[in-house]
């Protein structure tokens, strides 16, 4: 049956299959290096809606629709929808769940939501509690910035450590049944703890998340008796350039240096000419890179085993206003491609 | 192994055990009919802290501490913490998870969070993905009112349909191992859908949630081939007096009338003299009544089989400001007491 190795990691003996996946990118995101990996790109970030929030809702539904369709799964076959976003009271995911009419569990892990939903979905599938689960996460620059930082119209300056909330959404469809041809499955996961390095600056999200990311990686390697070279790709998200460097320093200090196979979704989302400083952030950043590029590269046979880890900065405008620090969390998931070579 | 009956309901073949449970009540709550069922009551709702949010955080940690202690489980034995609250970005649960240092999945289902966390926790235990899981939810009148409605200092009038956010917290400790003596376990669950009856008034939460609650009950009875008389107690929360009446009307129209064994946590939390209009609400209302009164009555042999269903109004101040309606969701869990008679 289902084995648990160590306290924080799970090995999935039934290997839930990722039969469908899709990524949606906003305008700025589709001008960057991820362009060719998106399944759908926006021509305008308002996406024909009256508000940014409704646009984000339409984006995540688009990602889910495309993932279902490329997974050849109908809405009625879905036993559970698991997802979340950054907007207050999970507004985006709640309205998507209303429109989709699937049994729904709302999740909040800030930008760690994509791997949080993959872990919960994999547990439901692996244990036989669902035959088909949809996981999804999204973010939108215009909804997140005004909620967490400044109104866009304010045009405030951003320090070099600031990250740019990606306008993007990602969805994966998990099934107990294998996909035809080359199959991708979830084989293990590590659930993170909340760690707090004492950062108070909302423009230092990478520094706030890096210790939690390092803790989850170290726990993962320890629990499973693995090391970084056991993976073709290790991808965190979204530490950004600054947080990525901190993570690499922390890992090296712990005797587990990260090598060429490691990168970060925040560092990958934009190129240097796009003026985003430390890189991308937001639930949609890692969700769209995992559901877009990583799944496609696995299907193409370029990646056999990937460790993907969304990272979340547990920032609240209320806690910041009360002088509280910003803790971080990170959840890791192992994806493996098999067959179809 | 684990059976799934119907699409939306789960039968737990390994029957996860509730070995510990505790409820914490605020000042107003401990002046009402639930007083004797709380494990701890506040003398002052600020609970020695500098902000209402920090007070709520201390309450939920107190509920978790007491549940672990009466379940004779140490913090280090806990494999996963599942919980949430109403405050932006899950602030209360995030900081509790930081202080407790347990692997953590944050959940948001508005006032449905307690049964959402019980379902997720039961899946982790039943499937062997965790040996011990802590589930928790909280709310605080002073943190919720200023976030969702008006600053307290404004002293605005409340219509008869308005509910009073309970200052309360509840926690349950799930284990793969049975408790000594009379044992309480989770035997089944039904995951709800998001339904939207088109309510826009934030003082009509009962009406916003009642259709989702009726849908979950009807689905539960259909999936499991059961009817209301199969339960000693059916308890929803928190529809309040107004929502409870709407639910009873909806169920009667569907040919499944609710009888004397049905009640609602919102209707039970306060008595008529406490001037709370339609009754209690907030994640902590049903969490504290389930973890307080219901678990104690089951241990005392007064209840053998209970159907508990937390209900959530998926309200966001942003969506309300954009003219959106308030959808509802409800998740149901079956608790059974066995042995020790």
pLDDT at B151 over 90: no
- Position with higher pLDDT, B74 vs B156: B74
Q: Is the pLDDT of residue A113 over 80?
A: yes
Q: Is pLDDT of B1 > 70? A: no
Of B79, B88, B103, the CB nearest to A88: B88
In chain A, whose CA is at the least distance from the CA of B124? A123
The residue ranges of every structural domain in chain B are 16-175, 186-338
Per residue in A124-140, pLDDT tens?
A: 999 999 999 999 999 99
Q: What is the pLDDT of residue A317?
A: 85
Inter-chain contact B98–A196, Cβ cutoff 8 Å? yes
CA–CA separation, B97 and A327 (whole Å): 10
Biggest CA–CA distance in chain A, Å, is 56
- Nearest-CA distance from B102 to chain A in Å? 6
The percent of residues in chain B predicted with pLDDT above 70, rounded, is 97
Chain A residues in contact with B175 by the CB 8 A cut-off are none
Chain A residues 164-203 with CB within 8 Å of chain B:
191-196
* Per-residue confidence band for B39, with pLDDT thresholds at 50, 70 and 90: very high
pLDDT in tens, A135-180: 999 999 999 988 888 788 888 888 999 999 999 999 999 999 998 8
Of the listed ranges A62-71, A128-137, B200-209, the one predicted with least confidence: B200-209
pLDDT in tens, A289-316: 999 999 999 999 999 999 999 999 998 9
Which distant-in-sequence residues (6+ apart) come within 8 Å of A281 by Cβ?
A111, A139, A163, A164, A165, A166, A205, A238, A240, A266, A313
Mean pLDDT of chain B, nearest integer: 95
Quick check: A267 pLDDT over 50? yes
The whole-number pLDDT of residue B341 equals 55
The CATH superfamily of B186-338 is Stage V sporulation protein AD (3.40.47.40)
Question: How far is residue A281's CA from residue A145's CA, in Å, rounded to a whole number?
Answer: 11
Mutation choice for A interface testing from B125, B129, B146, B320 by most A CBs within 10 A: B129
Residue from the list A123, A196, A319 with its beta carbon closest to the beta carbon of B124? A123
| Nearest residue to A84 via CA among A58, A61, A117 | A117
Residue B126, pLDDT above cutoff 50: yes
Q: In terms of CA atoms, which chain B residue is nearest residue A117?
A: B105
Topology of the domain comprising B16-175: Peroxisomal Thiolase; Chain A, domain 1 (3.40.47)
Using the Cβ of B6 and the Cβ atoms of chain A, whether some distance falls under 8 Å is answered with no
Q: How far is A302 from chain B (nearest CA, A)?
A: 31
Given a cut of 50, whether residue B6 has pLDDT beyond it is: no
Q: What tens digit of pLDDT does each residue of B311-338 get?
A: 999 989 898 889 999 999 999 999 999 9
Question: Which residues on chain B are in Cβ contact (under 8 Å) with A79?
Answer: 4, 7-8
Q: Where are the alpha helices (DSSP H) in B87-169?
A: 91-100, 113-126, 141-148
Report whether pLDDT(A214) > 60. yes
The pLDDT of residue A1 is above 90: no
Closest by CA to A166, choosing from A32, A64, A65, A62, is A32
Q: What is the pLDDT of residue B7?
A: 67
What is the homologous superfamily of the domain A1-341 according to CATH? Stage V sporulation protein AD (3.40.47.40)
Nearest CA in chain A to B322: A51
Question: Chain A contact for B321, CB < 8 A?
Answer: no
Is the pLDDT assigned to residue A20 strictly greater than 80?
yes
- Does ipTM surpass 0.90 in this model? yes
Query: How many residues are present in chain A?
Result: 341
Q: Decide if pLDDT at A210 tops 80.
A: yes
What SS3 state is found at B322?
A: coil
Looking at beta carbons, which residues of chain B come within 8 Å of A194? 94-95, 97-98, 101, 104
Q: Using the beta-carbon criterion (under 8 Å), do B103 and A79 form an inter-chain contact?
A: no
Global pTM value: 0.97
Query: Which residues in chain B are closer than 8 Å to A123, comparing Cβ atoms?
Result: 123-124, 127, 129
**What number is the average pLDDT over the span B194-213?**
95
Q: Å from B192 to nearest chain A CA?
A: 5
DSSP A104-115: EEEB-BTBTHHH
List chain A residues with CB under 8 Å of B189. Answer: none
pLDDT of residue A148: 86
* CA distance to partner chain A, nearest, from residue B281 (Å): 16
Does A341 score more than 60 pLDDT? no
Same fold, B16-175 and B186-338: yes
Contact B116 A106 (CB under 8 A): yes
pLDDT at residue number B3: 39
Q: State which residue of chain B sits closest to A190, comparing Cα positions.
A: B103
Residue A252's CB is within 10 A of a number of other CB atoms, namely 11
Please answer whether residues B203 and B281 qualify as being in contact, where contact means their C-beta atoms are separated by less than 8 angstroms.
no
Task: Respond yes or no on whether the N-terminal peptide bond of residue B74 is cis (omega within 30° of 0).
Answer: no
So what's the pLDDT on residue A158? 87
Q: Categorize the per-residue pLDDT at B180 as very low, low, confident or very high, splitting at 50, 70 and 90.
A: confident
Best probe of the B interface among A74, A79, A94, A143, by most B CBs < 10 A, is: A94
| pLDDT: which is higher, B274 or A148 | B274
Q: Determine whether the interchain pair A318/B91 forms a contact, defined as Cβ–Cβ distance below 8 Å.
A: yes
Cross-chain Cβ contact B51/A322 below 8 Å: yes
The kind and range of the H/E element at A249 are helix A240-253
Under a CB-based contact definition with an 8 Å cutoff, are residues B144 and B282 in contact? yes
Q: Do B104 and A315 touch (CB under 8 A)?
A: no
pLDDT score of B42 more than 60: yes
Tell me the pLDDT band of B280, cut-offs 50, 70 and 90: very high
User: What's the confidence (pLDDT) of residue B2?
Assistant: 38
A193–B104 C-beta distance less than 8 A = yes
């Amino acid at each position: 049956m289902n084995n648990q190795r160590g306290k924080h990691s799970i090995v999935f003996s039934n290997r839930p299959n990722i039969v469908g996946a899709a990524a949606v990118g906003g305008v700025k995101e589709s001008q960057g290096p991820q362009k060719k990996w998106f399944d759908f790109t926006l021509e305008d970030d308002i996406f024909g809606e009256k508000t940014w929030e409704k646009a984000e809702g339409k984006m995540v539904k688009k990602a889910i629709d495309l993932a279902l369709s490329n997974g050849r799964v109908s809405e009625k076959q879905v036993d559970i929808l698991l997802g979340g976003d950054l907007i207050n009271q999970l507004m985006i995911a709640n309205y998507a769940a209303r429109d989709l009419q699937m049994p729904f569990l709302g999740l909040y892990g800030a930008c760690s939501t994509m791997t949080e939903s993959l872990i919960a979905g994999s547990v439901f599938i692996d244990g036989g509690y669902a035959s088909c689960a949809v996981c999804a996460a999204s973010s939108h620059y215009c909804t997140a910035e005004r909620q967490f930082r400044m109104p866009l119209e304010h045009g405030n300056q951003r320090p070099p450590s600031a990250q740019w909330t990606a306008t993007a959404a990602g969805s994966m469809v998990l099934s107990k049944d294998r996909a035809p041809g080359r199959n991708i499955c979830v084989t293990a996961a590590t659930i993170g703890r909340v760690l707090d390095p004492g950062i108070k600056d909302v423009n230092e999200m990478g520094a706030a998340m890096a210790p939690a990311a390092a803790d989850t990686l170290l726990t993962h390697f320890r629990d499973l008796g693995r090391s970084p070279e056991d993976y073709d790709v290790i991808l965190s998200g979204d530490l950004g350039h600054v947080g990525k460097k901190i993570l690499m320093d922390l890992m090296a200090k712990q005797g587990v240096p990260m090598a060429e196979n490691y990168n970060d979704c925040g560092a990958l989302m934009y190129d240097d000419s796009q003026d985003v400083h430390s890189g991308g952030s937001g639930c949609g950043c890692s969700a769209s890179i995992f559901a877009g590029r990583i799944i496609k590269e696995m299907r193409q046979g370029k990646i056999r085993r990937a460790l993907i880890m969304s990272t979340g900065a547990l920032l609240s405008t209320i806690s910041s206003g009360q002088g509280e620090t910003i803790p971080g969390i990170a959840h890791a998931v192992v994806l493996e491609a098999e067959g179809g070579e």
